[in-house]
Structure 1
Amino acid sequence: MSRRYRTFARFYDALSGEYPVYRAGRELGIKRLPLQAGGQVLDVGCGTGLNFSLLQHRVSPGGTIVGIDSSPEMLEQARRRATRNGWTNVILIQADATTLSPADIGSRIAARGGRARSDAALATYSLSLMVHWETAWAAMVRLTTPEASLCIVDMQKPTGFAAVLTPLAQAACWLGGADIDAHPWTGLERDCADVVVSSARGGHLQIRVGRRQS
């Protein structure tokens, strides 16, 4: 997986199918995620920072975006995106979400001017890339405040009339290294209250937003 993103990091945005397909899930998830101006939001598996522009509109320059990713090459692209747009409120941390210590990451965030725990957290199309996504989900929860809002956007096989597009969806997930049958949003449904369920692109994109139960 790391080799895959090391090779394609510079071209990821162009090859990922972002605007024809996957942008819709990001927009729905972030729109439904309760974010306040001046708040801090954690982006787990932030990749090249494709969520950042949407999050900036919600937290404002007075807020903070914390991006975590295991790939230094993807983080370099995220850093360039932030620099290009003048976003000085972005903190980037290289860490594997399936093995990180929340206490250690919290300390690293605080050392960069953020807070150890965020007011909200999201993972878009990242948990399905992780064999041990449950571990990453648990760490994501522990890096938020007791009443934080949480969001997962990920993929499954299309449903209904769109089921005919399943081979294309499977191919896209295979190319990106994602497990289309992982269904990581089930962790949020289990662990959060007031869960809001939505979908897009023929059910291929699944969006869940909920409130952490302390």
Structure 2
Amino acid sequence: MAKYTTIAPLYDLLSAEYPVYGAGRRRLAELIGLQEGQQVLDIGCGTGLNFPWLCERVTSTGTVIGIDRSPTMLAQARGRAQRNGWTNVILIQADATELETPDTSARITSAGGRALSDAALATYSLSLMGDWPSAWQAMWDLTTAQARLGILDMQKPTGFAAAFRPLAQLACRLGGSNIDAHPWTALEQDCTEALRDSLRGGHLQVRVGSKPQAA
């Protein structure tokens, strides 16, 4: 967390968001199919780079819950929300790998949200976590039975883009991500109606699915 504490004010400038990684966020927001008035959970929200796409879709009648363990990253996210007038953004400082469902739900409701969200997503965040399966379980436990779940993360570029592997690996190493984590495999295993997409030469992997309905 010390790294993100230091770079938080400059994170948006250093993250290659506009030439590379923003495309994945936009695609995930499209595929997850958020509706007006819904509540969405953003795991590892960082500086709030997902917020424009999420707030646009849930509108002012919905709620965006951002969870991140870094207080300085959350400070940037709070500033983004305030500048844009997004009064429906709730921010919670917590480690996503250590979330306790009752406690987290209580914190969300006390801040004005609902105990369980209609959707949850993690963008470029699970690969930063050594115990990312626990964060995936938290996404599952903090959403409704009908929820849509989404993961956007990175792998080594493939095909014609394989020449850029060293650059992609360096970027992930500098950011603290494990490029070989492939956390979207959990979604493919646990969810139904899985949608798959890849961008930037396969470097960005997008997955969206639904919780299976009980018989």
Q: TM-score under structure 1 normalisation?
A: 0.99
What is the correspondence of 1:73-92 to structure 2 with a 5 Å cutoff?
73-92=72-91
Q: Could you tell me which residue of structure 2 aligns to residue 108 of structure 1?
A: 107
Q: Could you tell me which residue of structure 2 aligns to residue 38 of structure 1?
A: 37
Matched, 1:5 2:4: yes
Matched, 1:163 2:162: yes
Q: Could you tell me which residue of structure 2 aligns to residue 15 of structure 1?
A: 14
Deviations 1:47-76 (A, max 9, x none): 000000011110001100000000000000
Q: Could you tell me which residue of structure 2 aligns to residue 61 of structure 1?
A: 60
Q: Could you tell me which residue of structure 1 aligns to residue 117 of structure 2?
A: 118
Percent identical residues? 63
Rounded to whole Å, the distance in 2 between the matches of 1:107 and 1:44 is 17
Aligned residues: 213
Instruction: Please report how far the alpha carbon of residue 213 of structure 1 lies from its aligned counterpart in structure 2 after TM superposition.
Output: 2.0
| Secondary structure of 1:98 counterpart | helix
Matched, 1:209 2:208: yes
| Secondary structure of 1:14 counterpart | helix
Q: TM-score under structure 2 normalisation?
A: 0.98
Rounded to whole Å, the distance in 2 between the matches of 1:41 and 1:99 is 19
Deviations 1:60-117 (A, max 9, x none): 0110000000000000000000001110000000000101101110110000110010
Amino acid aligned to 2:160: F
Rounded to whole Å, the distance in 2 between the matches of 1:68 and 1:31 is 21
Rounded to whole Å, the distance in 2 between the matches of 1:36 and 1:150 is 14
Gaps of 5+ in 2: none
